[in-house]
Amino acid sequence: MLEILQRITRGRRRERGVDALARFQSVLHLQSLAETIRDTSLCGLGQTAPNPVLSTLRWFRNEYEEHIYERHCPAGACAELVTYRVDAEKCMGCGICAKKCPAEAIVGSPKSVHYIIEEKCIGCGNCLDACRPGAITKE
């Protein structure tokens, strides 16, 4: 179940070959696997361990689907599915965000608008925390 949940929250950068198909099938497999574990386990821990997953599948299925089909995390908790953008109107070109980025995903010259290269961004959020004028937004 952990592998399925990790596959659902994985971004496009680390996806290879048939991973996309496996991601689409994940919700169906996750529910049947959780029910099988609950129903066939001999101990109390095994019988209750899948309950959080089954509960979230029941009440928040739309969020699972948004993760899978739209590659978007509504809660903003999945680092690989979050994107950061620079608001060109607010960016002063100070470069503090670029200095704080461990992946060197922010480019721009001093006193001009900076940009985030999505392919290099690791989703750590350091740029968001460092940006004083609030020019970086989390999507």
> pLDDT averaged over the chain?
86
Dihedral sign for Cα 106, 108, 114, 119, please: negative
pLDDT at 133: 82
Alpha carbons within 13 angstroms on the beta-carbon side of residue 48 total 3
Look up the CATH number of domain 82-138: 3.30.70.20
Residues of the chain with CATH 3.30.70.20: 82-138
Residues of the chain below pLDDT 70: 12-17, 20
Distances in Å between the Cα of 36 and the Cα atoms of 28, 55, 85, 130 are 12, 15, 42, 46
- Cα gap 111→94, rounded to integer Å: 6
Alpha carbons within 13 angstroms on the beta-carbon side of residue 124 total 15
pLDDT in tens, 77-94: 887 788 888 998 899 889
pLDDT at 65: 86
pLDDT at 15: 66
What percent of the chain has a predicted confidence (pLDDT) above 70? 94
Q: What is the pTM of this model?
A: 0.66
β pairing state of 115-116 and 106-107: antiparallel
- Cβ density class 108-128: b for 16+ within 10 Å, e for less: beeeeebebeeeebebbebbb
